[in-house]
Structure 1
Amino acid sequence: MSDSGSESDSCTWRVRVKNRVQNVLMAVKEWFMPMMTVLLCGLSLSFMVDTGAQVNIIDEQSFKKLKMKPKLHKFGSKLFGYGQSDSINTLGKFKTRVKYGNQYRSVEFIVTRE
């Protein structure tokens, strides 16, 4: 997802502390892959921000929790994770308005089985 506005207080960052090396690696990963919380179909959900991703995905379990279920449409392409040879199983796609802070954006999501 892209956000053309400024940073908001609703951004959250996850940090896990296990040992010094892992702590440093996680801090670097979280610096480049922050979490953001958006209002999606009546439910507040956190997503990992990946500015290099071609699509926005939501897993089947999270999709089932949405209060207002959007209609799924056929997704005719195959999805592959970076460097993966096996495709990701998809259920379909939907487009909806998402609220981030005080801004609304129309965003398309691909629903995955994983």
Structure 2
Amino acid sequence: MTKPHKLGPVGCLALAYSGLVLALGIYSIVVLLTVQDPILLSGVALIYLTFPLGWLIWQAWDLLPIELTNPIALTLFLMVAGWFQAWGVSRLVRQLVRRSGA
């Protein structure tokens, strides 16, 4: 059985970032489902929060035919992109710390 590893400061930052992405995503989906004509500033904030991948998803989303674009699916894709970024950065920093011997 493996021991659980300590979270550390990078893990705490990744966890906080993931929580912020989750909160903004849930808020955006609730607004999309409940408001008649939503002006989705939280969706724009989610794009900026998940910047490199979120912006790429947004640009690719504009290339899709209008029948395939669903704002809830876009929000879910942005949330997954944010979680992937948090995971990737935490893994990268963990590898760099391991290589430096600290």
TM-score, length-scaled by structure 1:
0.26
> Greater share of strand residues, 1 or 2?
1
TM-score, length-scaled by structure 2:
0.28
> Greater share of helix residues, 1 or 2?
2
Larger RCO (alpha carbons 8 Å, 6+ apart): 2
